[in-house]
Amino acid sequence: MSKTFIKCLEDNISDFTLFKNSFHSLAEICEYLGYSSHGRNTAAVTVFCNKNNIDISHFTSNGKPRIKATTKVCLNCGKEFDATGSKLQRKTTCSHLCANTYYKPNKKETTKNTYALAAKNAGMTSCCICGESNLVDIHHIDHDRENNSLDNLAPLCPTHHMYFHRNKEHLIFDKFIEYLDTRNISY
């Protein structure tokens, strides 16, 4: 920060204590001193006031009123969460997971992780077309996401998985049928 700005703050320290109720923001202090109200100057005012024990807790950086911290209780789990901020004040749950559980209680509990883990445990750990084992999706053969039977699941890399969902399965269908005919699912 420039030495002239600091000197100006030091020269006007009495104005801060005398007129502290007339200033509503750090930007107003900068403008009163004849400086621009960008972040660097308002930050320097904050540091200066803290060093000189001047209370600026009621100030904001831009003159807009501070939103008071509010604590709410999650409707789903009962945990307290911070709802400070205009968008957060409308929140009624602490997380997306709690919101999904609270607002969609009839949704089936079968998740991707459940059937994907079952498929992995059954030995479906590499793409049945190319052998990729780093990234493996689990494909529902009959396209019914509710049918999580191991007989209905097949391991595919993301590329070959998209073949089935972009009407390109005819390009890999022979190899896929060969996999289905020869696979041995361990339950």
| Cα–Cα distance, 179 to 174 (Å, whole number) | 9
DSSP strand pairing (71-73 vs 80-82): antiparallel
44-68, pLDDT tens digit by residue?
877 887 887 877 776 665 555 555 5
Q: What is the mean pLDDT of the chain?
A: 79
pLDDT at 158: 94
pLDDT at 126: 94
| Cα–Cα distance, 154 to 136 (Å, whole number) | 10
pTM of the model: 0.42
| Cα–Cα distance, 132 to 125 (Å, whole number) | 9
Mean pLDDT value of segment 34-42: 78
Mean pLDDT value of segment 80-91: 70
DSSP 2: -
Mean pLDDT value of segment 108-126: 76
Hey, where are the domains in the chain?
3-51, 71-103, 112-182
Determine which helix (DSSP H) or strand (DSSP E) holds 23, and give its type and residue range. Answer: none
pLDDT at 19: 56
